[in-house]
Amino acid sequence: MNRIARWLILCLLSSPVLAASPDGVVAVSQPAAAAAGARILAQGGNAIDAAAAVQFALNVVEPQSSGIGGGGFMLVHLAKTGETFFVDSRERAPAAASAGMFAPDGLPMEFQKASTSGLAVGVPGTLRGIDTALTRWGTMKLAATLAPAIELAEHGFRVNRFLAVDIANDDGRTQLQPETAATFRPGGVPLAEGDWLVQPDLAKTLKLIASKGPDAFYRGPIARAIVQAQQRARSELGEAGRGRMTLADLAQYRVAIRPPLIGHYRGWTLAGMPPPSSGGLTTLEILKLLEHFPLGDAAQGYGFGSPKTLHVMIEAMRLAFADRAVWIGDDEAAPVPQRALLNPEYLAARAALIETDRRMDTPQAGDPTPWDASAVRPKPSRTREESLHTTHFAIVDRWGNMVSYTTTIEYTWGSGITVPGYGFLLNNELTDFNFLPSADAADGNPGANDVAPYKRPRSSMAPMLLLKNGQAVAAYGSPGGATIINSVLNVTLNLIDHGMTMQQAIDAPRLSVTQATGKVSCEGGQAFMQPHFSIATQDALREMGHAGLGDAGTDGCQDAIGSVQAVVIDPATGAHRGAADRRREGTVIRVGQ
C-alpha cells in the first residue's frame, strides 16, 4: 500500500461528507485526489499549494475529465487582503488556426470525427496556470505539489465505478489511439471497477516536470511529442484533420490573471469568472432576472420546488442562454457587453417577458446596445452541446484562503489522443468554437466565438465565490458543460432564497435549461435528492407548456446534473466546512482538530 493510499484511509475514517475544521478543508470529486490536497495542507501548505496537488492527482485518477493536456479557471481568494483573482489557463487556438478550419468545404465536419482528430487540440494551459498560481500565492515548490500524483501514477490505484463506466461507455475514444487503448483497455479489455491502474509513462512525465519545471512541458522533448501527437488525423478527414499547433505555440503560451466579475443578489455579493467563460456572466444574469420574483416565499407560491419557482427559473434560464449564444465569447478578441447585460434597465425589460402562468415563445437574444454604445450585435453562435465531463474542487486553508477550481480536457477523454511515451491525454477544446464562422463584415458581426489565432473558445465554467458584508462565505462550482451554469445557480438559490445548508443545497434536485428553445432537464432519481419535484409540480409545468418532462402523470425528473464541491467559512464562528456531491464520488477531508 503506497503512502497516499494509507493517508486516504486515515482521512476517510474520520471524514463524513460534511466536515468542519479550524485548519483546512478540501472538497473533491475523487477520494484519492482529495487525500492529495489534504496531505499538502497537513504539511503546512496553503489552499493554492493544495489545489496544485489535487489537480495533478486528478490527472492520474480522473484522466477522462482533466489534466495537464487541458486547461481551466482557478478562483483564488486571499484572506489577508480580501482580494480575489482568476487564473485563466484556458486553452488557446494555435497561430495557424482559422475561422473555417472545421468547415473546409463550407460544411461543418462531423463532430465525432473532428473532435477525435488533432485539429481539435488547443494549446494546453493547466500546467502553466498552476505554476503561475504557485509562484504568486503559493508557499511550496512545484515539485512538492507533484509528489502525491507521482506516487499514484507510479504505484497505481484502484479504478472506481465512475472511471470504469467512462471507459466502458467511451464513445470510442479510448479505442482510437493505441497508447490510450493500452492504458485503459489492456489486451483489448476495458478496465473494470476494482482493477489496479499503474501509469508509468505519466509518472515519468510528472517527474520530469518536478525536476525541470514547466519548461519541460512547453519546450523540449515533451513539447515535440505533443506537436507530433496532435498531427494525427482521422483517416476520413485526411490532411484537414491534422492539428495546427507548433512548438512556438507551446513556448509562447501565457496565462491571464483576471479580476472577478462582481454581481449582487438580495444583499449578497458574488464573484464569478468573466469571459472567455460565459459561466459567471450568465449565472449573474439569471440571478438578476429572478430577483424580480419572490423566490423563497412559500406563502406566495415560490417555495422550493413549487411550480411557480421552477417556471420562473426555466424562463430566466431561457432568456439568459439566448443572450449567451449571441453576445459572449473571448473578450480579448471581440468585446463582450458585460455591464450592459447586467444593467438594471436592460434586465427589467428582459424580466418583463416572463409571465407567471405560461411558457413564453422561444426568446431571441436581447439588445443591450443602448447601454453599451460599443456593442455590436453578432449572429447566434453555431456550436454543439458541450460535454458534461469536467471536474471541480474547492479548498479552504487554515488562514481562510480559498480556491474554487474548474478544469477540463473538454469532452470525456478529450481528443482520445495520449501523447506517446508521456501518458497524458490531449484536449479537444477547439470544438467549443463555432464550426461554421458567424463573422460578417457587412453586418458588423465580429464572430464572438469564431476560431481565430491565439483565441480562447467560449466556456461555461463558473467557479464562484459568495460573500456577505465583504466577507467570503463560500466557494463552489461544478462540471457539466453548459449545465455548469445552472448547477451553480441552483445551489446559490438554495442557499440564499431557500435557507439551506451547503450540503442540503448540493443534495437538492436540480433543474436545467441550456437553450432558448427550453427543453427542461431535472433530477430526482436518487434517494439523497430531497425534496423531490413532485409529479403534480411536473404536471403543472407541462400544463404551462414546458417540454422535456415526458408524459403527464409520470416522473420526468431522472437526469443527473453537475457535481458541485464546496467549502464554507461560517461567518459566526469562523469554522471551515466542506460539502461534496454524491452524484460522483464526492469527498470532503478536514485537516486539523
DSSP-derived 3-state class of residue 279:
helix
Q: Residue 408 — φ and ψ, nearest 5°?
A: -160, 160
In angstroms, the CA 473 to CA 44 distance is 23
pLDDT band at 2 (very low <50, low <70, confident <90, very high): low
User: If you average pLDDT over residues 113-135, what whole number do you get?
Assistant: 97
- pLDDT grade, residue 388 (50/70/90)? low
pLDDT above 70 (res 21)? no
Instruction: Give the residue, 546 or 375, on which the prediction is more confident.
Output: 546
Provide the residue ranges of all domains of the chain, joining segments of one domain with +.
3-257+385-443, 279-327+335-377+481-561
Burial of 316 (0-12, 13-18, 19+ CB in 10 A): buried
> Average pLDDT, stretch 495-505?
98
Residues 206-248: tens digit of each pLDDT: 999 999 999 999 999 999 999 999 998 888 999 999 999 999 9
Amino acid (one-letter) located at 195:
D
Write the DSSP string, 467-521.
EETTEEEEEEE--STTHHHHHHHHHHHHHHTS---HHHHHHS--EE--STT-B-E
N-terminal to C-terminal alpha carbon distance within the chain: 26
Q: How many CB atoms lie within 10 A of CB 305?
A: 19
pLDDT level of residue 202 (50, 70, 90 thresholds): very high
Q: What is the largest CA-CA distance in the chain?
A: 66
Residue 377 has pLDDT above 80, yes or no: no
**Gap between the Cα atoms of 190 and 199, Å rounded:** 15
Give the DSSP letter string of 143-160. HHHHHHHHHHHHH-EE--
211 Cα distance to chain centroid? 30
The helices-and-strands tally (H runs, E runs) of the chain is 19, 18
- Bridge partners for 343 per DSSP: none
Give the pLDDT confidence score for residue 328 in this predicted structure.
85
pLDDT of residue 326: 84
Residue 381's pLDDT is 45
> What is the C-alpha separation between 251 and 216, in angstroms, rounded?
10
Which SS3 state, helix, strand or coil, does residue 224 take? Answer: helix
Question: How much is the average pLDDT of 261-274?
Answer: 97
What is the pLDDT, as a whole number, of residue 444?
58
Q: Can you tell me which residue has the cell 461544478?
A: 478
9: pLDDT confidence band, cut at 50, 70 and 90? very low
pLDDT tops 80 at residue 276: yes
Higher per-residue pLDDT: 243 or 385: 243
Q: Quick count: other Cβ atoms within 10 Å of Cβ 185?
A: 16
Q: How far is CA 499 from CA 15, 494, 505, 562, 575, in A?
A: 25, 6, 9, 21, 19
Confidence of residue 16 (pLDDT cuts 50, 70, 90): very low
Residue from 390, 406, 431, 587 carrying the catalytic annotation = 390
Q: Rg of the chain's alpha carbons, rounded to an integer? A: 23
Give the chain's mean pLDDT. 92
Cβ(587)–Cβ(34) below 8 Å: yes
Per CATH, the number for 279-327+335-377+481-561 is: 1.10.246.130
Q: Residue 15: what pLDDT? A: 39
User: Is the predicted pLDDT of residue 532 greater than 60, yes or no?
Assistant: yes
Q: Which long-range contacts (CB under 8 A, 24 or more apart) does 132-136 make?
A: 132/87, 132/89, 132/255, 132/257, 133/48, 133/51, 133/52, 133/74, 133/76, 133/87, 134/48, 134/49, 134/52, 136/257
Q: Peptide bond before 453: cis, by omega within 30 degrees of 0?
A: no
- The pTM (predicted TM-score) of the whole model is 0.93
Confidence of residue 22 (pLDDT cuts 50, 70, 90): low
Share of the chain above pLDDT 70, in %: 92
- 342-359 pLDDT tens trace: 999 999 999 999 999 999
Q: Give a three-class secondary structure readout of 61-93.
A: HCCCCCCCCCEEEEEEECCCCCCEEEEECCCEC
Can 390 be counted among the known catalytic residues? yes
